[in-house]
Amino acid sequence: MPHDDHPQAIALWYSFEIQSLFAALRQQGVATRPMMMAAGVDPKAFENPALRLTTEQELRLYQAIAQANTDPLLGLRVGATMTLSHYGVLGLGAASCNTLGEALELLVTYAAILSPGLALELRRDDEQAVWRINPSTEDQPALALEVDATMASLYRLLSDLLLQPMTLTSVSMKKDIAPVLLPAYRQHYGCPVTASAETNCFIFESALLATRLPLAAPQTLRLMAQICYNQLKTVQADYGLVAAIRHYLDQRDGVASIEELARHFNQSSRTLRRHLTQAGYSYQSLSDEYRFNKAKQLLLSTAQSVESIALNMGFSDVRSFREAFKRWSNGQTPANFRRSSIGS
């Protein structure tokens, strides 16, 4: 099972964004529950504001949302609703910085807290600054949706830090934008917007980096920076070795011993166990996590019987599967999980 020490900022940022995207789809008349179930996510989980998704679940949801969406400005609209509070401790730390430049550097340093695949870069000369945004996926069409939502949310963040709209010189986006939609983008950012560019970035006058932030609080900044540092270490551990192990288990359909895994990563099983312990995991917890996620996906997205799912997952009998599932889900049986999730 995943441990409970993941930074809440990760969950909060993406949980709010995905829930907002789902809400918009429902207004379009799209049924979102099948998307959740196909991704192996219990629809009831979205009632939890601290929802955590695996990278694979997150990508599947973005793909499904992008394919079902009929509003070409959906990502822009949703991103614009992301307030400073949705950035958790990183947002509070940025607001506590003395200047806009310090806040941007803090965001660049700890961007992985928001999403492990998100990378930010700040470059400047005497005249202009360029803040580059590299999204966490290259998958189409999910990429276009993520670029829109991420850039719109970061622009909202900059404006919230200043307590007034951020003045940009121009915006460049790698995604294609239909000419008929460009006026909406220009109005949103208050500047020229270039589509099909080489990079995603905000360009503005370098002098703005020296702008004093109205909510600056040095003592708060020191505390938030320390928390961000600790969270980043956790994220790097979670999405380094742990992510590689999850990927390996997925490729092997969960069938791998700790010895096989250690050989794959060219280390002894004892060393691998030590590294996992340092990251807050064990091989058993990751194996159980994989099997629990697979079981939920099969229960939610297929009509297979519990008995058939037990055999497909390598259990000797349905009783063993039922007991394991109850242990993973804090007492819920597979049948009750399916009934409560699909029937609610």
How many Cβ atoms sit within 10 Å of the Cβ of residue 18? 23
pLDDT of residue 212 exceeding 90, the answer is: yes
How is domain 8-230 classified at the CATH fold level? H-NOX domain (3.90.1520)
pLDDT of residue 165 exceeding 90, the answer is: yes
Task: Among 127-131, 134-138, 264-268, 271-275, name the one with the lowest average pLDDT.
Answer: 134-138
Q: What is the pLDDT of residues 116-128, one digit of tens each?
A: 677 899 999 999 9
> What percent of the chain stands above pLDDT 90?
41
The mean per-residue pLDDT over the stretch 334-341 comes to 81
Q: In sequence order, what DSSP letters do the residues of 204-249 get, joined into one string?
A: EEGGGGGPBPTT--HHHHHHHHHHHHHHHHHHHHHTTHHHHHHHHH
Looking at per-residue pLDDT, the higher value among 23 and 231 belongs to 23
Identify the pLDDT of residue 53. 64
Q: What is the pLDDT of residues 71-91, one digit of tens each?
A: 999 999 999 998 888 888 899
Q: What is the pLDDT of residues 103-115, one digit of tens each?
A: 999 999 988 888 7
Identify the pLDDT of residue 6. 38
The mean per-residue pLDDT over the stretch 198-226 comes to 94
Residue 142 CA to residue 315 CA, distance in Å, equals 36
How many Cβ atoms sit within 10 Å of the Cβ of residue 241? 18
**231 confidence band (pLDDT: 50, 70, 90):** confident
The mean per-residue pLDDT over the stretch 273-280 comes to 78
The mean per-residue pLDDT over the stretch 214-231 comes to 90
Assigned token pair, 56: 């694979």
Supply angle C-alpha 38, 39, 43, rounded to 5.
85
Identify the pLDDT of residue 10. 41
Q: What is the pLDDT of residues 11-49, one digit of tens each?
A: 445 567 788 888 899 999 998 888 887 777 777 766 665
Residues of the chain with CATH 3.90.1520: 8-230
Assigned token pair, 1: 């099972």
Residues of the chain with CATH 1.10.10.60: 240-343
Q: Strands of 128-134's sheet, edge to edge?
A: 119-124, 128-134, 201-205, 170-172, 193-194
Looking at per-residue pLDDT, the higher value among 326 and 241 belongs to 326
Identify the pLDDT of residue 77. 94
The mean per-residue pLDDT over the stretch 208-216 comes to 96
Please provide the size of the chain in residues.
344
Residue 24 CA to residue 26 CA, distance in Å, equals 5
Residue 37 CA to residue 43 CA, distance in Å, equals 7
Q: What is the pLDDT of residues 286-314, one digit of tens each?
A: 888 889 888 888 887 788 999 999 998 88
3-state helix vs strand vs coil in the chain, percent to 5: 60, 5, 30
Identify the pLDDT of residue 210. 96
Q: What average pLDDT does the structure give for the chain?
A: 84
Identify the pLDDT of residue 127. 95
Q: Is 235 exposed, middle or buried (0-12, 13-18, 19+ CB in 10 A)?
A: buried
pLDDT of residue 148 exceeding 50, the answer is: yes
Chain-centre distance of CA 152, in angstroms?
16
* Nearest of 192, 212, 204 to residue 131 by alpha carbon: 204
The mean per-residue pLDDT over the stretch 215-232 comes to 90
Calculate Rg over the CA atoms of the chain: 22
**136 confidence band (pLDDT: 50, 70, 90):** low
Class of domain 240-343: mainly alpha
- Model confidence, pTM: 0.69
Per DSSP, 317 falls in state S
